[in-house]
Structures are given as C-alpha cells and as structure tokens.
Amino acid sequence: MAAAAVGGSHLVASTKAGAIYGWQLAALILLVNLFKYPFFRAGVQYTVGTGNSLIQGYEGLGRGYLWVFTLLTVVSAVVNTAALLLFSASLLGYFLPFELSSLALCGVVLVTCIGILFAGHYKALDGLSKAIMATLTVATVTAVIIAASNGSVAPADYQAPSPWTIAAIGFIVVTMGWMPAPIEISSITSMWLKSQCKKQNVTAQSALFDFNVGYIGTALLALVFVALGLW
C-alpha cells in the first residue's frame, strides 16, 4: 500500500504544497487520507474474508459493474502508468552518470520492474518495496531535519498565499485526488493480498496490521514532505 501510494502525491504535490502554502493544506491532506481510509480498508477486509479480490466481487454484483470498472481502469491504468513511468524515469536520470532520453529511461524502469516480478514474483517485489520505503522514510526525515537546522530559504518578509482561491482549485483537486493514491488502487492491493494468501500464511489481523502501518505511514510521510517543501 505504501509503495503504491508514495509517488507524485508525496514527492511532488506535498512538497510543492509546503513550498507555496506552508502548513495551510496540512489539515486537508490528513482529512483526505481519513476519508479514503474506509475504501482502501474494504479491499483488504473483503479479500481476507472471502478469499476473492475486489474485481471478483464486482463480477458477483453483475457483469455491468465489472464492465464499468474495466472501462474506468483502462483509462486510469494508461494515464497512471505513463505518469509514474515518466516520474520514475526523471528521478533515475539524476543518478546516472550519463544522459539518456526520457523514453529510454522509461524503458529501463519498466523492464526492471517486469524482470523483478518474473524472477522473484510477488515475494521479491514485496521485500524490495519495504526496503525502498524504509530507505525513503529515513532519507526524507533526515533531509527535513537538515533543512530545518539550516533555516528557511524564503525571504523574511515572505507571506504564503491563500490556497482558498479559485486559482488554486486545480492544484488542490490534483493533490487530493492522488493523496494517498487514486481509489482504484484498492483493487490492486486486493489482488496483491489474494496472491500473498496463496503463498504465505496471512491472517486477518496480520493483513490489517500491514495495511494500517502502510496507510498511516503514508499519511504521516505526506506531512514530512510538506515540511520539506516549507523549509
């Protein structure tokens, strides 16, 4: 859940929110995470309770529900995958000692992810995701502490603009829509959990604990990125 959620909404939107508006959007970020929590938790509880994924549940309601979900997912999957590939590729470009085109960088990211899945399946990606999240959390908190100790880079007379204006609606809508992730991610975490249950001993308590740690962690991490942008 955390690995799927932390991306543009945190590294870009939350940081930008802090840089432009300070702490003014912090409460809204927490509220959005709170309001979306039942929808994401439902996917975990349904899968643990029935052994089926949310997609199978939609099919059980009727083929019409499944077709509507499929059409919406076809659109969002293409857009989200393209956006995340470009975002990941741009980050990768900072670490390479040589230059590659955006298309080539996207290819490297995509082939690497597919290779990990084919080589080690869900278990390998699950372990790698947890390692990445732990590293990202430690690095981000450390960066915030360093930035705070150095003091704000904003001019002393700088006053953050109000986010409660018509001009800021677009930014707020995009930020909240991706915070912590689009709702359809619940179906992906549901399928992931179903695959886990086939290969590991997953109980309802352990599944909910894992989900809550990831979800609450992403909400708190969003505030850390806001602070990073602020400093």
Range of the domain at 215: 2-60+122-230
Tokens standing for 178? 């991706």
Domain membership flag for residue 80: no
Domain total of the chain: 1
Q: What is the residue-averaged pLDDT of the chain?
A: 86
Domain membership flag for residue 100: no
Domain membership flag for residue 89: no
Domain membership flag for residue 130: yes
Domain membership flag for residue 78: no
Domain membership flag for residue 200: yes
Cα dist from 44 to 5, 15, 51, 69, 73, whole Å: 15, 29, 10, 18, 19
Q: How many helices (H) and strands (E) does the chain have?
A: 9, 0
Q: Which of 33, 39, 41, 35 is nearest to 207 (CA)?
A: 41
- Asked if residues 215 and 2 have their Cβ atoms less than 8 Å apart, the reply is yes
> Of all residues in the chain, what percent carry a pLDDT higher than 70?
99
Q: Which residues contact 93 (CB under 8 A, 6 or more apart)?
A: 99, 100, 102, 105
**Its pTM surpasses 0.85:** no
Domain membership flag for residue 146: yes
pLDDT tens digits, 17-54 = 998 998 999 999 999 999 999 989 988 999 988 989 99
